[in-house]
Structure 1
Amino acid sequence: MTAAMQDRRESEGWTTSDLDALPEDGNPSGGRRELLDGVLMVPPSPSDAHQFLAAMLVAALHRACPPAFGVTQAVDVRLSERRSFCPDVLVITAAAAERDARWFRPDEVVVAIEIVSPTSVAMDVITKPALYAGAGIPFYWRVETAPKLVVHTYALDEEAKVYRDTGTFADIVETERPWFIRIALADLSRRSRR
């Protein structure tokens, strides 16, 4: 890191260009680096159970995903030059899915999904949904794992730029938008596969 780069970061904070300049290896969080108003955040590595749940959710969404969309996980969404987050699971536009992206713009993201962990509660419940809504991402899902698996779904109120609650699901997630989705939460559990 150059002295000029360090001086700028101290006075103005980090940018997405700074993220691009960081090396790929040696990051204890498995490569996740997020920016909140120029402050670099390095979340702890997700647990195996967290990653398994994310993978199962990607698979469940992918099975029913129409051609207009794609499903992926843990790819950055750059809300601005000083804000970048890495949702656990994303539904993206078909055009975004066609390119081999290291990050997406908010207009390429249809659903941002966060799996709440003990170290991410405030970010996943308050901060990220507010900023995703402000950036115009149409849908947000919050997945809670304790004390049991529950999925909360939200849709963007475009005029107010906030999310409105569209459902809380403890057994089967069922929603009409962005397409008809029906997922039995038991199918996302490691225990159901044994």
Structure 2
Amino acid sequence: MTAEAVIVKMTPPSLPSWAVPPPEGFVAEDLDHIPDLPAHTELIDGSLVLVSPQRHFHHTVIFRLHVALEDFVPPGHEVVQEMSVKLAPKQRPMPDLMIVGPHAVIGGEVTLFQASDVILAVEVVSPDSQVRDRDRKPVLYAEAGIPHFWLIEEDNGKPTVFVFERNPVTKSYEAAGTYHERLKVTVPFDLDIDLTKLYQARTR
């Protein structure tokens, strides 16, 4: 009896629809209709950006800053987390935090905000998103008219907040201050936050 070779044909797993972008790239509205799209996916320059798992520093600073901001936002304003903003047809990033004004539409069916809704955008820098957070996103936010931007960096295990304000003439951000221990500003509204409480690693 002779042995016969058995050829097994391996069928590659089918790719999800979002893995193959259209020739012209995705547009902002596509994110609401693409099936099985990973959570927290952003759209930058027509390309999908998948968010890596958060580090403890990133998660904790965002959560505690959200709570702290709630004590200072004026009536009619809202602190928003894990929501995206449409800046342009092919730009729909998801800031780590946003503050939207009283003209923003709030409701259970809302999946994104418009750039004109946003008073402040906040990004906490992560190792996988350094270029986007430091370079690309600030440009997009400023071009879309968002008046205030904060960039938060980890410095020796503590948060440092870099505050920027939009120059309406150049349509770009200008540095307005760097804060290490306490964030005390008067725009976009009066607030005073103890930054040392935003992240305190547990010690044994």
Q: Which runs of 5+ in 1 are unaligned?
A: none
The 2-side partners of 1:24 and 1:67 are apart by: 37
The 2-side partners of 1:99 and 1:152 are apart by: 31
* Aligned residue pair count: 185
Aligned to 2:99, what secondary structure does the other structure show?
A: strand
Q: Which runs of 5+ in 2 are unaligned?
A: 1-16
Q: 2:43 is matched with which residue: 17, 32, 35? A: 35
Q: 2:28 is matched with which residue: 16, 38, 48? A: 16
The 1-side partners of 2:188 and 2:107 are apart by: 21
The reply on whether 1:112 has 2:121 as its aligned counterpart is yes
The 1-side partners of 2:58 and 2:145 are apart by: 27
Q: Which moved more, 1:159-168 or 1:48-57?
A: 48-57
Counterpart of 1:110 in structure 2: which amino acid? I
Aligned to 2:155, what secondary structure does the other structure show?
A: coil
Kindly report which structure 2 residues correspond to 1:1-194, keeping only aligned pairs within 5 A, or say none: 9-23=21-35, 27=38, 31-96=39-104, 98-100=106-108, 101-147=110-156, 148-191=158-201
Q: CA deviation at 1:63?
A: 1.0
Q: CA deviation at 1:98?
A: 3.4
Q: Deviations over 1:76-113 (max 9, x none)?
A: 01111211100001111123263342111000000000
TM-score, length-scaled by structure 1: 0.87
Counterpart of 1:69 in structure 2: which amino acid? H
TM-score, length-scaled by structure 2: 0.83
Contact 1:69 1:97 (C-alpha < 8 Å) held by counterparts: no
Q: Deviations over 1:22-71 (max 9, x none)?
A: 2367x2xxx11111221111121222331221110010001111104211
The 1-side partners of 2:145 and 2:100 are apart by: 13
Contact 2:57 2:199 (C-alpha < 8 Å) held by counterparts: no
The 1-side partners of 2:201 and 2:54 are apart by: 19
The 1-side partners of 2:179 and 2:193 are apart by: 10
